[in-house]
Amino acid sequence: MNYRERITIEPGKRSGKPCIRGMRIAVYDVLSYLASGMTYQEILDDFPYLTQEDILACLSYAADRERQTLWVQV
């Protein structure tokens, strides 16, 4: 999954937070829903404009950020 095709960062949108496909839903929002116990299907039902690929892109983005943080700390 190449999240770079789905995750966008625009300075004037959501204070520059990474968002999904230029929409106003941030990666953080989706990750928070997952962390609270929501399933993929529950998120997709609540936000019909999202796709499973969008959720996977959020997870890939978070994994890549974590990987980059580890490199900086070493």
Which residue is it, tokens 């892109």?
57
H or E segment at 65?
A: helix 52-73
Closest CA to 7 of 68, 50, 67, 70: 50
The answer to whether the CB of 57 falls within 8 A of the CB of 65 is no
User: What pLDDT is attached to residue 50?
Assistant: 98
Q: How many domains would you assign to the chain?
A: 1
Tokens of 31: 């990750």
User: What pLDDT is attached to residue 73?
Assistant: 56
Range of the domain at 41: 3-73
Check: pTM over 0.95? Answer yes or no. no
* Residues lower than pLDDT 50 in the chain: none
- The CATH code of the domain that includes 69 is 1.10.10.10
Distances (CA, A) of 70 to 1, 27, 66, 74: 21, 20, 6, 6
